[in-house]
Chains A and B, each alone.
Chain A
Amino acid sequence: MDLSFTPAQDAFRSEARAWLSANVPREPLPSFDTAEGFEAHREWERRLADAGWAVVNWPEEYGGRGAGLIEWLIFEEEYWGSGAPGRVNQNGIFLLGPVLLEFGTPEQKARYLPKIARSDEVWCQGWSEPNSGSDLASLTSRATLDGDEWVLSGQKTWCSRGAFADWMFGIFRTEPGSERHRGLSYLLVPLDAPGVTVRPIAQLDGEAGFAEVFLDDVQVPVANTLGGRGEGWKIAMSTTGFERGVVLRSPGRFMATAARLVKLYRSRAAALPASLRDEVSRAVTDTEAYRLHTYWTVSHFLAGGEVGAETSLNKIFWSEMDQRMHRTALSVLGEEAELAGPWTDGFLFSLAGPIYAGTNEIQRNIVAERVLGLPRG
């Protein structure tokens, strides 16, 4: 066990910190769930990419630096600590990217990854359907083969960033008569294709963070199939693509929130009840626990260990920690918490955490069944 960073890792941290401190916008960008804010964030992503910071752990040929996971975690700590903008293309970078790297053909990697890295193409997810949320395998959107084209029909919904995104990845029923997890394929769908209708949906904060996507005989080349035909579920759920288990929400983001919470608390400590100090101390400990758990998991992975259902524990932890921290911040703000601002924005967003990326109820089932070995209900 050695919990110190190498001189090279320290140098990497310094380099990232210096670039971010010189380049992070002084004023927050407008919300990326507005048309104007979306493009402002895309521009920021291009600046990141031009300087080589957009996707540090990807191979150099696709716009990355070939950095390791530890370096990636260091970068994330610096990124969020600097107050840099949210990542408008996080679905493309953190969710689709690792799957392309693992399952994509050389042509697919060359075609898609560089454009993700520069956010020339911003992606949304196409998982949920109106009647298929936690029970995703009940989905009914289908793709029928016609020569070299899939013909898609159906409806996807709750697609984050979908209102302004360029592309959507998702799973579709491609094998007629198939049921549940079988017969699904992972497809890449351009949202400007004829037959696609995108309807923005305002979220709790009133901005168009979601969209529903209607597919009416949309033609997509068979070459847009990621992985094998009928293998969509396996690819979407693959736990061998371990990176997805930790990269969705890196510790750096929550450490930055905790640091802001401590600063807020300190500025008002004298007037606050002692119980709030305990809550703030708990928030600091929670974020440190999450940070160490992530380094622990990554070290285990780098040493050749298997990481599977444990990523569900991660998801439950960060999403509930984020909510607790924001509620504590609102308590520290007191009556001022009624005024809209960064903390109320963050609070509303934190409420979504236990819902997206698989509800925490489903995650708890996964932990109980696959880690503790309890029988399926």
Chain B
Amino acid sequence: MRFTFTDEQRAFQRAVRDFLAKECPPEHVRAMTTDPTGRSPKLWKGLAGLGVVGLTVPEEFGGLGGEEIDLVLLLEEAGRAALPEPLLETAAVGVPMLRAIGGDLAREWLPRVAAGDAILTVAMSGVTLADAHVADLILTPNGPVLPSDLHLERLPSIDATRRLFAFDGAGIDDAAFDRGALAAAAVLCGIAARVIELGATYAKERHQFGKPIGSFQAVKHLLADALLGLEFARPLVYRAAWSVATGDEQRSRYVSMAKSYASDAAMNACRASLQVHGAIGYTHEHDLHLWLNKATALAHAWGTAAWHRERIAL
């Protein structure tokens, strides 16, 4: 029993955090909301250069040969930065699906993915497809499909950086779905961490009644509760990552625990942070909505908290 990450895993996480702080600041995320594609080839190439995109691609195909335990901390960083790029669909779900299919398809596509030259997306639920407009290959339960073979009808998303398209077909299999739900849970933890920090920072700066509002217990307790939710979600997410990586028979149970907890933790953290910010947090000119809207989207994508609790066998 050694429930810790290695120094190398933590160092990789810090490197990705530093990279995203520089290359994906809130101004970038905001610019992407009105960009025609909402995606930045430069940013994607940069992430590929760091090894993030190809983390789960086997070394023989140019990747790092990592597993979910390595990826989960990087997905947290994606959430922390509100990264618009389809890292979840490509690295967490698409690549393992391609690995499972194997053969010529894997040999053709995995090296391109690792190099940052190809983007994958997946049929999450049989209702929507995320990022089909920039994907080079769409993975469905009936096999891979090229975007040119589909008529893409864009759907409005609560998260302006998330590009969704209608999809009428079956959702991916349980194993792939669990990878997506796990990855979404990790991103949600990163979002929760960031909005709690934003709330704490603001509570130290903002003065009312001649004092920083963070000195008031009502404000302290809001943020402490938000942190409580996050800190107890994280071990569930890491346990789920270990279960997926090791093929544990309890995989779906732990993924459901992780996703239900992380969804609730992120929603509660966003609400708390918004409350601490007050009216400024409710404006579009403040950055908080970049995380709040992404949290709302991901808390409901890949199975809601209630859906996952229903899946946990009693």
Binding site for B on A (CB under 8 A): 1-6, 9, 70, 262, 265-266, 269, 277-278, 280-282, 284-285, 288-290, 292-293, 295-296, 298-300, 303, 310, 313, 316-317, 361, 363-365, 367-369, 371-377
Contacts and interface: CB of A to CB of B under 8 A. Distances in A.
B231 A313 contact: yes
A293 B261 CA distance: 13
B242 A3 contact: yes
A108 to B, nearest CB: 33
Contacts of B242: 1, 3
Interface of B: 1-6, 69, 196, 200, 203-204, 211-212, 214-217, 219-221, 223-225, 227-228, 231-236, 238-239, 242, 257, 260-261, 306, 309-310, 312, 314
B1 A4 contact: yes
Contacts of A290: 232
A265 B215 CA distance: 43
Contacts of A269: 314
Contacts of B309: 278, 281-282, 285
A191 to B, nearest CB: 37
Contacts of B212: 374-375
A3 B239 contact: yes
Contact of A292 (B5, B219, B221, B236): B236
Contacts, number: 139
Contacts of B5: 1
A78 to B, nearest CB: 15
Given A371-B224, A375-B214, 5 more contacts: A2-B2, A278-B310, A285-B257, A296-B234, A368-B223
Contacts of A4: 1
A361 to B, nearest CB: 7
A264 to B, nearest CB: 11
B224 A299 contact: no
Query: Which 4 residue pairs across A and B have the least CB separation, nearest first?
Result: A368-B220, A292-B235, A374-B214, A281-B309
Given A1-B69, A364-B224, A295 B235 contact: yes
Contacts of A9: 1
B142 to A, nearest CB: 33
A359 to B, nearest CB: 12
A298 B235 CA distance: 12
A281 B2 contact: no
Nearest to B241: A1
A375 B204 contact: yes
Contacts of A266: 314
A110 B250 CA distance: 46
B312 A285 contact: yes
Contacts of B216: 377
Contacts of B306: 278
Given A289-B257, A376-B215, A299 B2 contact: yes
Contacts of B3: 1, 3, 292, 295-296, 298-299
Nearest to B230: A313
12 contacts: A2-B2, A5-B1, A278-B306, A281-B310, A285-B261, A293-B231, A299-B3, A303-B4, A316-B228, A364-B225, A368-B223, A374-B203
Nearest to A312: B224
B189 to A, nearest CB: 13
Nearest to B240: A292
A290 B236 CA distance: 9
Contact of B221 (A282, A310, A361): A361
Contacts of A375: 204, 211-212, 214-215
B228 to A, nearest CB: 6
Nearest to A269: B314
Output the residue of A290, A298, A371 with the most chain B CB within 10 A.
A371
Contacts of B4: 1, 296, 299-300, 303
Contacts of B69: 1
Given A281-B312, A365-B217, A375-B215, A289 B233 contact: yes
Contacts of A265: 314
Contacts of A364: 217, 220-221, 224-225
B211 to A, nearest CB: 8
A88 to B, nearest CB: 30
A365 B220 CA distance: 6
Contacts of A365: 217, 220-221, 224
A130 to B, nearest CB: 24
B215 A288 contact: no
A372 B233 contact: no
Contact of B231 (A277, A285, A298, A310): A310
Contacts of B221: 361, 364-365, 368
A98 to B, nearest CB: 21
Contact of B200 (A6, A280, A296, A373): A373
